[in-house]
Each structure stands twice: as C-alpha cells, then as structure tokens.
Amino acid sequence: MTFLRTVLLFASLSLLACSQKEDTTEDVVSSSEDELRSVARSFFLREPLSGRRMEALRRDVAEADDGYRWVRNQGSAFAMQWETTSAESDALSSSQRVAVAQAAFAFRTGSRRALLRDVKVVDTSDASLGAALDAIGLDTMSPADADTTAKRTEILNALRTAAKTQSITVLTATLHYQVDMYWEGALVVIDEENKQILFATGGYGT
C-alpha cells in the first residue's frame, strides 16, 4: 500500500510540474517538486482527524449543507494526511505548506494542474476568519434564518479555536477547475503536528 501511495504521489508531482510550465499566470503558486519531496512522500484520506480541534472543525464544516441557507450553492469538505520522508518534525516553511496543500488537493481531485490559486495565510482575527468563510460561501443568505446563523457561529468558533493553535495554519485560495462556476474558493487548514490537512470548498454555479 505504501508503494502504491508513493507511485501515485510522484505521478501527481510530475503532472503538477508539467502544468506549471504551461501556465504562466502570475497568481498560480509554484509547487516545487524538491520542496514537496522534502516534506511528504504519500497522501491518503483521513477521517476522523487526530487533533480534537481539527476534528471539531471538520465535523462542523461537513455538516454545513444539511438544510442551511448559504450564499453558495455548491460545496464540499474532505481531510487528508501526508506521510513524511523522515522522522524530523521541523516547522514547514510557507512554500512547503503551499506545496503540500497543492499536491494533496491535486491527489484528491485527480487533477493535472495546481488548482489552488491566490494562496494566502489568514490571520487569527475574527474579521479575517469570517472573511475566509465568506470566500467559500459560508455566509448566510438574506434574509438569514436562525439555524443558519447559529451554524455560521459554530463554524467560526471552531475555526477560531483551530487557528489559534500553534501547529495549525489557515490558508485561503481561489479555484478555477469546474465548468459553469461563477466563483469558487477553498479554505485550507494545515495541522503540522499531526500531518493532516482539511479542505473546505464552496462556490456558486449552474
């Protein structure tokens, strides 16, 4: 199984490298093959997540489509874990975080391209974290109903708790890979201690 994961990882790396040579758009974040190899050698889906705070956030985001009225009309959530190339546990550099996120998302979606664009770190202020949820459409549709407003508060609280954990970094990105989408964004939460990533996407399309 480990060998298969390794083969799939390097296949996705090769595809990402090829796509980056063809795409000259400035806002496409480079996912360096060398940087990724220094951090991860394989990926797999993970549920539930190891960390209590990450799992609480994963659960809240996964439950967000159960009868609530959001601005988005499409969304998904999934979590992944990566296996390291060594026993070292040094903090990731910003470029390594992006490389891991790009490769994990490409692995999950089977894409040939680096799909996360305009990748940015989100600070821990309520305003910034709220804007990150807005970017994936987890904003209440007007007129807001009580259940959706309460769920938004629950997700924001869980995101705030995770974001203020030392080993966790919150990122936002835009996505451009589904047809007939007017806009689509991604929330990426990386837990370096447990080598796990939570992705939540949302957008509006036909």
CB 127 within 8 A of CB 61: no
Residue 10 has pLDDT above 70, yes or no: no
Single-letter code of the amino acid located at 35? E
CA distances (Å), origin 25, targets 28, 97, 157, 173, 184: 6, 20, 35, 15, 18
pLDDT at position 38:
63
Structure tokens belonging to residue 131: 């804007």
CA-atom Rg of the chain in angstroms: 17
Report the percent of the chain where pLDDT is more than 90.
Answer: 69
Please name the helix (run of DSSP H) or strand (run of DSSP E) that holds residue 42, with its range, or none.
strand 40-45
- What CA–CA distance (Å, rounded) separates 153 from 147? 10
Confidence category of residue 109, pLDDT binned at 50, 70, 90: very high
Residue 83, beta-bridge partner list:
42
pLDDT at position 66:
85
pLDDT at position 99:
92
Counting the structural domains of the chain, the total is 1
Q: pLDDT higher for 21 or 153?
A: 153
Residue 84 has pLDDT above 60, yes or no: yes
Q: How does pLDDT run across 28-68, given as a tens digit for each residue?
A: 334 456 667 767 889 999 999 999 999 999 999 999 988 89
The one-character DSSP state at 65 is T
Q: pLDDT higher for 23 or 85?
A: 85
- Record the pTM: 0.82
The one-character DSSP state at 75 is E
| Mean pLDDT value across the chain | 85
Residue 26 has pLDDT above 60, yes or no: no
Show the domain range for 69: 2-205
Q: What is the largest CA-CA distance in the chain?
A: 52
* Coil, strand or helix at 67: coil
Residue 129 has pLDDT above 90, yes or no: yes
- What CA–CA distance (Å, rounded) separates 18 from 195? 26
Confidence category of residue 87, pLDDT binned at 50, 70, 90: low
